[in-house]
Copies of this chain bind each other. A is one copy, B any other.
Amino acid sequence: MALANIGNLQNLEDNYRKNLINSFTGFKSVSLLGSIDEKGMSNLAIFSQIIHVGAHPPLIGILFRPPTVKRGTLENILNTKFFTINHIREDFYQEAHQTSARYEESEFDACGLEEEYLNDFPAPFVKEAYVKASASYVSHYEIKENGTIFLIAELQQLYIPEEALGEDGFIALETAGTITCTGLDTYHRTTKIARLSYAKPGKKLEIIG
């Protein structure tokens, strides 16, 4: 396999570098974040920068771009403290991608996704999503190197298709229809290779699922 060696990353053309660095970081979690402003207008936006921070308490981290222009989702979360996370399925990945356009109105109507309110939680869910959660703001850290914001949130309630939820808590995301993305604009479905046993020195791995 012939490998291209790319150095001097700072000197690359802007768009080339953006595609390159965004795709180098690999396959990503991609979700729709639902929020609401203080006047009651809903907002829906696609994010691929969500990671697991801890299980106990159940914390996630979301990286937001610098708040130098209006960032509806970030402002709403800072103001109201509540939002939802909705996994994307292939059935509505184009509607999900379309939420990245700059709308003045709610992206739910503009992009053709249905707003849903569950268990008196104040922020809107995506009705079409099968895997979703309510979450609340905990804190945030400014990344001084480039002004991005790493926001910590706590998961409140999860909604998971019964057929995708294992006895040990593992979620079979393929069964639930969740997809993944690379770079800024490319979507992929997945096929399980295997689930592996816990690794210990000198012990042969087993395929457990």
Contact = CB atoms under 8 A, between A and B. Distances in A.
A102 interface: yes
Contact of A63 (B23, B26, B53, B163): B53
Interface string A1-38: 11111110110101111111111111111110000000
Nearest to A146: B54
A205 interface: yes
Contacts of A27: 27-30, 173, 178-180, 190
A44 to B, nearest CB: 13
Q: How large is the interface on A (under 10, 10 to 19, 20 to 34, 35 or more residues)?
A: 35 or more
Q: How many copies altogether?
A: 2
Contacts of A98: 199, 205
Interface of A: 1-7, 9-10, 12, 14-31, 49-61, 63, 87, 90, 93-94, 97-103, 110, 118-119, 130-131, 133, 138-139, 141, 143-146, 148, 150, 152, 155-163, 165-166, 168-171, 173-174, 178-180, 182-183, 185-201, 203, 205, 208-209
